[in-house]
Amino acid sequence: MSRTIQFTLNGEKVAAEIAPHQSLVEVLQQHFDLFGARESCAQGLCGCCTVLVNGSAVSGCLYLAAFIDGAEVATVEHLSVNGKLSPVQQAFIDCGAFQCGFCTPGFVLMTGELLKEHPDPDEDEIRHYLAGNLCRCGAYPEIIEAVKLAARNMRKET
Amino acid sequence: MAAIGSGQVGRSVGRLEGAAKVTGRAEYVHNLRLPGMLHGKIVRSTVAHGRIRSINTEEARTLPGVYRVVTIDDIRTVVPVPFYGPAFHDQPILAVDKVHYVGEPVAVVLAADPHVAEAAAQLVVADYEELPAVYDEVAAMTSAAIVHEELKPAGTFPDLKHLQGKRNTNVALDFHLRRGDVERGFAEADHVFEHTFRTQQVLHLPLEPFVSAAETTGGANDVRLTIHTASQSPSFVRIEIARLLGWPENRVRVKVPYLGGGFGAKLYIKLEALVAALALLVRRPVKISLTMEEQFYTLTKHASTFRIKSGVKGGRIIGRQCEVWWNGGAYADIGPRITQKSGFTAPGPYDIENVAIDSYSLYTNLTPAGALRGFGIPQLVWAYESHTDMMARALALDPVEFRRANILREGRPQATGTLMQDAAIEAVLDRLAARMNWGKPFARRNGTLRRGRGIALGFKASISPTTSIAIVNVAADGSCTLYCSTVDMGQGSDTANAQLVAEVLNIKAEQVTVVHPDTDVTPYDMATLGSRSMFHMGNAVRLAAEDARDKIAALARELGLPEGSNVPVAELFQKKYKMQAGNIIGIGSFIPAYAPPDHATGQTPNATPFWMIGATGAEVEVDTETGQVRVMRLVNVADVGRPVNPRIVETQLSGAAIMQLGFTMQEKIAFDGGQIVNASLADYKIPSILDIPPAMQSEAVEAEQHSGPFGAKGVGESGTFGVSPAIANAIEDAVGVRLTSLPLSAEALYRALRAAANDPLED
């Protein structure tokens, strides 16, 4: 029943033997020890399992691993290189935009996607773009600040 | 070394674990994998109350890949008396003879592949003889349906001892308080008001659902257990598991990394006894990770009914009677503590001469209820602050002025007789009124979008008496490590505690390493709950750091150095040990003074080591055509003593308010009889970023808790207190309609609007 898939994971070519029912999050955790994408609601509603597949955000808890054969997969772990944080990650720290941290990788990835589409988002754009990510600690006001700060810093860099 | 004034307390230090969290590398039990680990999947009761006739495990056992199917008979081979709980030993590791609520664990399937365990769990068939059930907390007082045939208090709390062996009752605790003569208060009053308020069951819903794993080490004669668990109370878990097994504490090790949220859910025993028993049974590591759905079958917040009656004379409240019924669900958990420790604050932060309180903890056939960010206080404030506003409105008094005329001032006795100390009630009320521009005109608007504003003021005592112990270890190079069992579940305790150590030892907070709870390593702490850690553990941490500082000074004297010579710590060690070697260990132990309340009157001179004050102001916009409410502005003001970390304090206040906003506007566990019908994030909606008011402000007033570490006290719950009544008060201000049950849904408000217009909707 199992099959081998090959894909690019955070810039590296990799292969994994998977079962047909396995989700992308399970494969990332079991085969690659990547725990940044994590299952919470298991319905694709909370955003904790966010993963980028071919440049689009997907709910890794619902996305069958079989579908990533040949794809480019990026997780939150690709953002920091040699300990240097991305501007979005740094902004989340600077604004205190998390508490327990369980939802944070999902927010960080979605903020990156938001800023690709809208380099200077207004508050309404931020809220609507991040509406699929939930934070039970309620760090939303700080998250909005962090998105704005990251946008400012990234515009300065370019 | 400078004793104080190094500027670490009061500085908005970034969270020590910030980089780990934004990179997805923070450690949670969720991530844990142990060699040879089995996954457990729980089979749950399908009936609310029933006698178990049989459990058929045959089909599940024969499914390929299933390691074992376990029932209570198997568990009893390793834990003969399998009942646990902090207040009552009422909760079994798996159901014994009877089930008491839908979702109660009755069996477990173990398999190496969690998908196999899940599939096999569907194949276990339990047969029940259904029994009459009771769901409502008020009905449970007199119901013929009895949840537990006999009460089994744990013996931990003296005020529960009289319940030992009691039969044919659902009352798990009755708490009574009498001060003055409430009937005389009503007789002398110009006006007497009586209202009843209700709150609904809601869920903590941490995004990391409950998860625990256990493994054994050692041989047949010296077996030991290590439990890895997302728990807010590692010390309790160790003690309770040791008690269940009849072992000394030191054979049970409990380790807790970061928590993906807790909010009061992950306290006492949840999955820990089950994984421990399973690991002992099969001698392999066992992990159980609940799904989001299963959280609904584990612990909820208490639904409540509160009947409140007040007598007012000349704008002063002179008598208040409070009757509170708490829906505790099928197992007591910490409900009896909520009934008493929060129950005694039921009259609110007001100076009332004549008070009567009767507070009842009830068993019902629903998911057990426990602590949820406020320990019962939000339910009480919801009632007494809605009531306060209704009285002010009826008496044509300004809601702020009516409160100001009645608040408990410094040095005055609270209902228990305990004198108020370091409780900045008036400052909080004044600051809230100022931030709401209360004295200025407010545009309520005409037409179908009406605006209104409201305020509410609440307070809380700290659960007492509880103990915290901390160790500060200074290494030979002068670097410092803090060992304590406070669990950082997002509240920032690692950072705040590091700041206390740094303040005393005159270093930077970022240089302190904080060791996470590990009962083989970190000393005892009662638990991370009820906003107690900043005060209790904070005091212990400060004492430990001061002990280390004093021992460093003693070492300098021993080495013949003159007082104040300020030689670097590393050089002291070098002089003493002739190389980089040795440690200085500072120890701090803290338990506040406390006097238990008199059983008949509830009176005590020392009910709490500190008071928390929280107030909320809300501005709302109501659509009269749909009942939709938009909260336009939410202001939270609190007395947290002196903030150790101002930014984290602000985040705690606004985060708590946002959580309570969900409980106020949208969240409700819906039941059909005893069956939950919305046990998923698809059907049970928590606040998203779209639900946050356009304007949110949170502020701590200037205050000091003199008995707290550097003037600090707890903060985690204060932001929840006033949210619900402030919004209900604002709604009445906008449209003249009063809601008395939570949540304040559009449907409830629209029905009330139609009823007020003499055109009620059909049910």
pLDDT at B721: 98
Residue B647 forms contact with A (CB below 8 Å)? yes
Identify whether residues A119 and A66 lie together within a single domain.
no
Q: What tens digit of pLDDT does each residue of A81-92 get?
A: 888 999 999 999
pLDDT at B3: 40
Q: Which fold has domain B375-462+603-756?
A: Aldehyde Oxidoreductase; domain 4 (3.30.365)
pLDDT at B5: 55
CATH class of B18-27+466-590: alpha beta
A26, A48, A75 — which closes off a domain?
A75
For testing contact with chain A, the best of B31, B210, B296, B689 (most A CBs within 10 A):
B689
Rounded to 10°, the helix B493-505/B533-558 angle is 30
The 3-class SS string of B616-639 reads EEEEEEEECCCCCEEEEEEEEEEE
Identify whether residues A110 and A60 lie together within a single domain.
no
- Helix ranges (H only) for B55-113 are 58-61, 72-75
Listed in order, strand segments (DSSP E) in B186-240 are 191-199, 211-217, 224-229
CA B374 to chain centre: 6
Residue of A nearest to B657 (CA): A138
Q: Is residue A118 included in any domain, yes or no?
A: yes
Q: How far apart are the CA of A112 and the nearest CA of chain B, in angstroms? A: 13
Average pLDDT along chain B, 763 residues, taken 10 residues at a time: 67 97 97 97 98 98 98 98 96 98 98 98 98 98 96 84 90 96 98 98 98 94 96 98 98 98 98 98 98 98 98 98 98 93 95 98 98 97 98 98 98 98 98 98 95 98 95 97 98 98 96 98 97 98 98 96 90 97 98 94 97 98 98 98 97 98 98 97 98 97 98 97 98 98 98 97 88
Q: Which A residues, 91 through 150, put their C-beta within 8 Å of a C-beta on chain B? A: 92-94, 96, 98-105, 108, 126-128, 130-131, 133-144
Cα distance between residue A99 and residue A135, in whole Å: 9
Q: How far apart are the CA of B373 and the nearest CA of chain A, in angstroms? A: 11
pLDDT at B2: 36
Q: Residue B23: its chain A contacts at CB < 8 A? A: 36, 76-77, 79-80, 85, 89, 105
Q: What region does B88 belong to: left with phi over 0, alpha with psi -120 to 50, or beta?
A: beta
Could A93 and B258 be called an inter-chain contact, meaning their C-beta atoms sit closer than 8 Å? no
Beta-sheet strand order (sheet of B171-179): B171-179, B354-362, B316-327, B303-313, B191-199
Residue type, B135: Y
Q: What tens digit of pLDDT does each residue of B254-289 get?
A: 999 999 999 999 999 999 999 999 999 999 999 999
Question: Closest Cα to residue B665, out of B564, B580, B747, B755?
Answer: B747
- Helix ranges (H only) for B620-701 are 646-665
Residue of A nearest to B648 (CA): A96
A75, A105, A131 — which closes off a domain?
A75
Could B17 and A101 be called an inter-chain contact, meaning their C-beta atoms sit closer than 8 Å? yes
**Domain of A143, in residue numbers:** 87-157
Pairing relation of β-strands B468-475 and B480-483?
A: antiparallel
Pairing relation of β-strands B513-515 and B480-483?
A: parallel
Residue B610, token pair as written in the block: 């500190």
CA B621 to chain centre: 31
Residue type, B509: A
Instruction: Please enumerate in sequence order all residues whose Cβ is within 8 A of that of A84, keeping only pairs 6 or more positions apart, or say none.
Output: none
- Fill in the DSSP letter of residue B734: H
Residue B564, token pair as written in the block: 């104040």
Q: Is residue A81 included in any domain, yes or no?
A: no
Q: How far apart are the CA of B575 and the nearest CA of chain A, in angstroms? A: 37
Residue A14 forms contact with B (CB below 8 Å)? no
Bridge partners (DSSP) listed for residue B620: B452, B631
pLDDT at B4: 45
pLDDT at A77: 97
Same fold, B18-27+466-590 and B375-462+603-756: yes
Catalytic-role residue among B208, B717, B732, B762: B717
Could A134 and B207 be called an inter-chain contact, meaning their C-beta atoms sit closer than 8 Å? yes
Identify whether residues A93 and A71 lie together within a single domain.
no
A75, A102, A126 — which closes off a domain?
A75
Identify whether residues A10 and A62 lie together within a single domain.
yes
Residue B10 forms contact with A (CB below 8 Å)? no
Residue B265 CA: distances (Å) to CA of B123, B362, B372:
29, 19, 7
Bridge partners (DSSP) listed for residue B399: none
Bridge partners (DSSP) listed for residue A16: A5
Cβ atoms of B68 and B110 closer than 8 Å: yes
For residue B743, whether the previous peptide bond is cis, meaning omega lies within 30 degrees of 0, is yes
B717 in catalytic set: yes
Share of chain A above pLDDT 90, in %: 95
Could A99 and B651 be called an inter-chain contact, meaning their C-beta atoms sit closer than 8 Å? yes
Could B258 and A100 be called an inter-chain contact, meaning their C-beta atoms sit closer than 8 Å? yes
Q: Is residue A52 included in any domain, yes or no?
A: yes
The dihedral through the CA atoms of B232, B235, B240, B245 has a sign that is positive
CATH assignment of the domain containing A151: 1.10.150.120
Q: Residue length, chain B?
A: 763
Question: Closest Cα to residue B140, out of B413, B355, B329?
Answer: B329
CATH assignment of the domain containing A38: 3.10.20.30
Cα distance between residue B447 and residue B506, in whole Å: 62
Q: What region does B506 belong to: left with phi over 0, alpha with psi -120 to 50, or beta?
A: left
Q: Which of A108, A127, A144 sits opposite B22 (nearest CB)?
A: A108
Question: Closest Cα to residue B27, out of B228, B258, B233, B227?
Answer: B258
Q: Is residue A20 included in any domain, yes or no?
A: yes
Q: Which of A96, A135, A140 sits opposite B648 (nearest CB)?
A: A96
Backbone torsions φ then ψ of B580, nearest 5 degrees: -75, 95
Sequence spans of domains, chain B: 18-27+466-590, 32-132+204-295, 375-462+603-756
Identify whether residues A127 and A150 lie together within a single domain.
yes
Query: Mean pLDDT over residues A57-75, rounded?
Result: 98
End-to-end CA gap in chain B: 72
Could B23 and A43 be called an inter-chain contact, meaning their C-beta atoms sit closer than 8 Å? no
Using CA atoms of B742, B745, B748, B752 in order, give the dihedral in degrees to the nearest 10. Answer: 100
Q: Residue B657: its chain A contacts at CB < 8 A? A: 138
The dihedral through the CA atoms of B386, B387, B391, B397 has a sign that is negative
- Fill in the DSSP letter of residue B340: I
Question: Closest Cα to residue B325, out of B311, B307, B341?
Answer: B307
Bridge partners (DSSP) listed for residue B514: B482
Beta-sheet strand order (sheet of B211-217): B66-70, B105-111, B38-44, B286-289, B211-217, B224-229, B252-255
CATH placement of domain B32-132+204-295: 3.90.1170.50
What DSSP string describes B386-403? HHHHHHHHHTT--HHHHH
The answer to whether residue A132 scores a pLDDT higher than 90 is: yes
Residue of A nearest to B293 (CA): A41
- Helix ranges (H only) for A59-122 are 87-94, 104-117
Residue B291 forms contact with A (CB below 8 Å)? yes
Q: Which of A41, A93, A126 sits opposite B22 (nearest CB)?
A: A93
Backbone torsions φ then ψ of B713, nearest 5 degrees: -150, -170
Q: Which A residues, 21 through 80, put their C-beta within 8 Å of a C-beta on chain B? A: 21, 29, 34-38, 40-43, 45-46, 48, 75-77, 79-80
Cβ atoms of B167 and A6 closer than 8 Å: no
Question: Closest Cα to residue A39, out of B270, B207, B115, B257?
Answer: B207
pLDDT at B189: 98
Cα distance between residue B675 and residue B48, in whole Å: 7
pLDDT at B566: 85
The total number of structural domains in chain A stands at 2
Instruction: Please enumerate in sequence order all residues whose Cβ is within 8 A of that of B158, keeping only pairs 6 or more positions apart, or say none.
Output: B596
Bridge partners (DSSP) listed for residue B174: B360
Q: Residue length, chain A?
A: 158
Cα distance between residue B564 and residue B569, in whole Å: 13
Identify whether residues A92 and A71 lie together within a single domain.
no
Q: Is residue A82 included in any domain, yes or no?
A: no
